[in-house]
Structure 1
Amino acid sequence: MKKDNIIHARTCVYNVNYHIVWSTKYRKEVLTENIQSYLKSLFDEIAHDKDFKIAAMEIMPDHVHVFVSAHPKISPSYIAKMLKGISARKTLMQYPELTKQLWKGHLWNSSFYIETIGSISEDVIKKYIENQKTRG
């Protein structure tokens, strides 16, 4: 296990990471460079306010990738909800012309993809658990 990724909190020690991906409504390519820059800044602000960290992010014209680290008490669905909900409201206020390009003024598709990411692979963890009783 990599020791540099471990975070020490008051009640636990953890390394909890998520890769979250979501798209614009109808996969419309509406996220221009200016909007992408605005969203990156906004995502950092949301993460700071909601007490999680964005380790990496990339915004494409029609979808978003974020790599997030969070305390175990913060659910992954809460992280996605905060990033999508707050960013949609503020972005549509900042760029009202987007509502004309998106049906009913929804910026994001309602669904998202999420994957847990650790410092070691799934296979390594399975083997480690399976070999617990054989360790000397």
Structure 2
Amino acid sequence: MSRFRRLSHAIWHCQYHLVWVPKYRYRILSGPISHEVELCIRAFSERLGAEIVELNIQPDHVHLLAMVPPKVSISEFMGTLKGRTAIRVLNKFRHLKQKPYWGNHFWARGYCVDTVGLDAEKIRKYVKYQEAQEKRK
């Protein structure tokens, strides 16, 4: 099977490594909140036609390796993921909105994005095993 995907007028292989954090980098992405974030990421990625290669949610950040079709810009993809997950998480876990420093924001501004070329397997393993590597330190 080819590594390329097909659209009606294009073949593509656009793979990205994305990292983003909760506001103030609070360590809240665990338990039910982590589970809800994962469900949201998977659901909204599928709606945009993106394929999740690897997903790792740490207590204070999210690593995502995804194949995003060229008809979807990365800023649109991240805006949808961060915006929609924030809405769902803050509605489901209302106690987060009660903190005076939290407001209506769940994620910090911005994100890190890197294109994945020939080292795709190396980056996939990094995303998958990053938590174990952090615990060893």
For the superposition of Structure 1 and Structure 2, which TM-score range results when normalised by the shorter chain? Answer: 0.7 to 0.9
1:74-119 deviations in Å (ceiling 9; x for gaps)? 1111111111000000110011112234522311001100001123
**2:49 alignment partner AA:** D
- Unaligned 5+ residue runs, structure 1? 122-136
Q: Who is 1:114 aligned against? A: 113
Task: Give the drift of 1:66.
Answer: 0.8
Q: Who is 1:47 aligned against? A: 45
Q: SS at 1:51's partner residue?
A: coil
Q: Who is 1:104 aligned against? A: 103
Q: 2:119 and 2:13 mapped to 1: Cα distance?
A: 11
Q: Who is 2:125 aligned against? A: none
Matches within 5 A, 1:67-78: 67-78=65-76
TM-score between the two structures when normalised by the length of structure 2: 0.79
Q: Who is 2:85 aligned against? A: 87
Aligned-pair identity in percent equals 26
TM-score between the two structures when normalised by the length of structure 1: 0.80
Two-structure CA RMSD over aligned residues (Å): 1.7
Contact 1:20 1:114 in 2 (8 A): yes
Q: 1:23 and 1:42 mapped to 2: Cα distance?
A: 15
Q: 1:27 and 1:120 mapped to 2: Cα distance?
A: 28
Contact 1:57 1:67 in 2 (8 A): yes
Q: 1:119 and 1:4 mapped to 2: Cα distance?
A: 14
Q: 1:33 and 1:17 mapped to 2: Cα distance?
A: 28
Q: SS at 1:108's partner residue?
A: coil
Task: Give the drift of 1:37.
Answer: 1.2
Q: 1:5 and 1:105 mapped to 2: Cα distance?
A: 40
